[in-house]
C-alpha cells in the first residue's frame, strides 16, 4: 500500500508540472482572489475614510481636541495644537490620498474593465465611487487649502502642482453633478459589499445631494450665487430622515471595530481623554438630553465635570467620553439628516428662496433628529427646544450664532466637519489654551514630506495662500 501511494503521488506531481509554464505558476495562493472587484476597492476606501473621519487617535485626527469637545489627561501636545511631534498632518494627508483616493481611482479602472457588468450597473458603481471621492477632496481642501488635485494620483507626475482651492471646489461641483446624473436607482449598484448603503443607489443619490448642499453652504460667504443655485438644486433630494444617514456600521472584531473603541475603551485600559469644561458646562446649562450619551458622570458621582482644555485633567476627576462611544460596533458618521436640516435652516436664513420652510422649522428638525439619533425621544427634544436659550426666536445672536452653536453640539460624532463649521460659522468662539503653541489653527500646515519631496510646488503653494501657517484661512473662511 505504501508503495502504491508513493507511485500515485509521483504521477500526480508529474501531471501537475506538465501544466505550468514557469516556476512562477507555483507561487499562487489558491485561497486568494486573482482579480479584485472594483466594488471591493470602494468598500476598502469607505472603511478607511470613515475610520479617519471618526478616529481620535492622536497620530491621525486631533479635531475633537481642536474644537474642545475633549482634552487630554496626560500628554497635552495635540490639545495645544502640536501637529508635528506625531506628524498628524502627514498621516491625515496620506490616508486621504493613499488610503482613500488612490483606492477609488483604481476601483474606477477595474470597474471600467469589468465586461461582466451591465452598463447601468457600471455607471452606478462609478458614480458612487465618485461621490465618495468628491467627499474626500472636500475634506482635504477644508483642512489644508490649496492641494495637489489635477496632477495628483498620476504616476507620471511624482511632483504634482497644487491647485487653487476655490477652483477645486468649482470642479468638484461639476464632478458631483455628473455623478448624480449618472445614477439609475432602478439598477444595481455596488452590491452587498457596499459598507455604507449595501448597494442602495437611491440612498447614494440622497447622499450625493446632501453633500452638494453641504458644499453649497460651505462657499456661501465667498460665492453666494453658486451657493444659492446648488443648494436649491439639492433641495428635496437630500436626506429626509435619520434612516438616510451616511454611516458605516463597524463590526465587533478587529481590525474592523470603530476606532473610538480602540482609542477610549477600558478594554484597552485607555484613559487618555475627558470632556472639557467649555463643552460640558454648555450642555449642563441647557439640560441637553444628549449629555449622558456624550459623557460619563465623574467617577463615583452623578455630576458632569469638564477639564481645562490644554491642561492636565485627571481622568477620575472629570467626565470621560460616554459609554456608548466605547462600543466596537458604533457606526462611523460621514453625514446626517440633522446636518442637512441645519444647512437648510441656514439656506433659508440667507434668503435662498428656492428652499422652502422657515429657518426655525429646519432648525427644530435638525435638533430633534440629532437628539433622536442618539437614542432619546422626540418629547425630550421638544422640552429642550422650549427653553428660551435654545428656541430659534429667542436664542442669542444672529443665525450664524444660533445655528452654529447648536450644530456644534450635534456634530459631536463628526469632529472633522465640526472643525470646519466652527471655522466657517465662527460659533462657538474657541479660545486657544493658555499653553497652546499657536493661535487656534484655521488649517493644518502641509506635511514635511511635501516640503522635502515636492519642494518647488509646495513652496509656490505656500506663497500663493499667504504662508504655510495655521493662521492662513481657507478660501471660504471670510469672518
SS3 58: coil
Chain-wide mean pLDDT for the chain? 93
CA–CA separation, 102 and 97 (whole Å): 6
Find the radius of gyration of the CA atoms of the chain: 25
Counting beta carbons within 10 angstroms of the beta carbon of residue 26, is it exposed (0 to 12), middle (13 to 18) or buried (19 or more)?
exposed
CATH number at residue 371: 1.25.40.390
Q: Which domain holds residue 371?
A: 38-254+330-429+443-465
Number of domains in the chain: 1
Residue 354 domain-assigned (yes or no): yes
Residue 278 lies inside a defined structural domain of this protein = no
Residue 2 in domain: no
Please report, for residues 386, 387, 404, the alpha-carbon distance to residue 393 in angstroms, rounded to integers and kept in the order given: 11, 11, 15
Average pLDDT over residues 426-433: 98
Percent of the chain at pLDDT > 70 equals 93
Collapsing DSSP states into helix, strand and coil, what is residue 421? helix
Per-residue pLDDT band at 235 (split at 50, 70, 90): very high
Task: Give dist(CA 214, CA 237) in Å, integer.
Answer: 13
C-alpha span between 75 and 71 (Å, rounded) = 10
pLDDT tens readout for residues 73-98: 999 999 999 999 999 999 999 999 99
In the structure, what pLDDT confidence band is assigned to residue 216 with cuts at 50, 70 and 90? very high
**Mean pLDDT value of segment 162-185:** 98
Residue 435 lies in a domain: no
48 belongs to a structural domain: yes
How far apart (Å, rounded) are the C-alpha atoms in residues 151 and 105?
Answer: 13
List pLDDT tens digits, range 120-132: 999 999 999 999 9
**For residue 15, what pLDDT band results from cuts at 50, 70 and 90?**
very low
C-alpha cell, 93? 494627508
User: Is a pLDDT exceeding 80 seen at residue 26?
Assistant: no
Q: How confident is the model at residue 1 (pLDDT cuts 50, 70, 90)?
A: very low
d(CA 460, CA 244): 42
* Residue 367 Cα to chain centre, angstroms: 20
pLDDT band at 9 (very low <50, low <70, confident <90, very high): very low
pLDDT given for residue 298 in this prediction: 98
Q: How far apart are CA 345 and CA 359, in angstroms?
A: 4
| 289: CB partners within 8 A, 6+ apart | 371, 376, 380, 381, 383, 384
Residue 391: how many other CB atoms lie within 10 Å: 15
pLDDT of 17: 33
Q: Is residue 1 part of a domain?
A: no
Q: At what angle do helices 359-373 and 337-349 cross, to 10 degrees?
A: 170
Write out pLDDT tens, residues 31-89.
444 468 999 999 999 999 999 999 999 999 999 999 999 999 999 999 999 999 999 99
Q: How confident is the model at residue 23 (pLDDT cuts 50, 70, 90)?
A: very low
Is 340 a domain residue? yes
Structural domain contains residue 115:
yes
Amino acid at each position: 500500500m505504501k508503495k502504491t501511494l508513493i507511485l500515485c503521488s509521483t504521477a500526480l506531481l508529474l501531471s501537475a508540472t506538465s501544466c505550468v509554464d514557469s516556476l512562477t505558476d507555483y507561487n499562487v495562493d489558491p485561497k486568494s482572489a486573482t482579480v479584485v472587484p472594483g466594488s471591493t476597492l470602494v468598500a476598502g476606501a469607505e472603511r478607511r475614510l470613515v475610520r479617519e473621519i471618526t478616529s481620535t487617535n492622536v497620530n491621525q485626527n486631533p479635531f475633537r481636541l481642536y474644537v474642545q469637545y475633549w482634552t487630554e489627561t496626560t500628554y497635552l501636545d495635540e490639545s495645544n495644537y502640536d501637529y508635528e511631534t506625531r506628524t498628524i498632518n502627514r498621516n491625515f494627508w496620506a490616508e486621504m490620498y493613499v488610503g482613500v483616493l488612490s483606492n477609488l481611482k483604481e476601483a474606477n479602472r477595474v470597474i471600467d474593465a469589468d465586461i461582466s457588468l451591465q452598463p447601468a450597473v457600471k455607471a452606478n458603481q462609478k458614480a458612487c465611487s465618485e461621490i465618495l471621492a468628491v467627499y474626500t477632496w472636500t475634506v482635504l481642501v477644508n483642512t489644508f487649502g490649496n492641494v495637489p488635485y489635477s496632477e495628483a494620483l498620476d504616476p507620471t507626475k511624482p511632483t504634482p502642482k497644487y491647485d487653487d482651492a476655490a477652483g477645486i471646489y468649482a470642479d468638484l461641483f461639476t464632478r458631483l453633478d455628473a455623478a448624480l446624473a449618472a445614477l439609475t436607482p432602478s439598477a444595481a449598484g455596488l452590491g452587498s459589499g457596499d459598507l455604507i448603503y449595501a448597494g442602495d443607489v437611491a440612498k447614494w443619490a440622497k447622499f450625493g445631494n446632501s453633500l452638494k448642499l453641504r458644499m453649497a453652504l460651505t462657499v456661501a460667504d465667498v460665492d453666494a450665487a453658486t451657493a444659492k443655485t446648488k443648494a436649491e438644486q439639492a433641495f428635496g433630494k437630500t436626506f429626509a430622515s435619520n434612516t438616510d444617514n451616511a454611516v458605516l456600521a463597524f463590526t465587533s472584531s478587529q481590525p474592523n471595530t470603530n476606532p473610538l473603541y480602540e482609542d477610549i475603551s477600558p478594554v484597552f485600559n485607555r484613559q487618555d481623554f475627558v470632556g472639557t469644561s467649555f463643552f460640558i458646562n454648555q450642555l449642563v446649562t441647557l439640560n441637553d438630553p444628549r449629555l449622558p450619551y456624550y459623557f460619563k458622570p465623574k467617577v463615583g458621582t452623578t455630576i458632569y465635570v469638564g477639564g481645562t482644555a490644554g491642561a492636565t485633567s485627571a481622568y477620575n476627576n472629570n467626565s470621560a467620553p460616554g459609554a456608548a462611544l466605547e462600543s466596537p460596533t458604533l457606526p462611523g458618521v460621514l453625514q446626517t439628516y440633522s446636518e442637512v436640516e441645519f444647512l437648510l435652516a441656514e439656506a433659508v436664513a440667507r434668503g435662498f428662496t428656492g428652499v422652502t420652510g422657515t429657518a426655525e422649522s429646519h432648525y427644530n428638525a435638525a435638533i430633534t433628529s440629532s437628539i433622536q439619533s442618539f437614542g432619546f425621544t422626540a418629547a425630550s427634544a421638544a422640552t429642550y427646544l422650549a427653553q428660551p436659550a435654545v428656541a430659534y426666536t429667542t436664542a442669542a445672536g444672529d443665525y450664524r450664532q444660533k445655528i452654529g452653536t447648536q450644530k456644534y453640539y450635534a456634530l459631536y460624532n463628526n469632529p472633522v466637519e465640526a472643525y470646519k463649521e466652527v471655522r466657517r460659522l465662527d460659533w462657538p468662539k474657541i479660545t486657544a489654551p493658555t499653553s497652546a503653541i499657536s493661535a487656534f489653527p484655521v488649517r493644518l500646515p502641509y506635511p514635511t514630506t511635501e516640503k522635502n519631496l515636492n519642494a518647488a510646488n509646495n513652496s509656490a503653494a505656500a506663497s500663493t495662500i499667504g504662508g504655510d501657517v495655521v493662521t492662513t484661512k481657507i478660501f471660504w473662511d471670510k469672518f
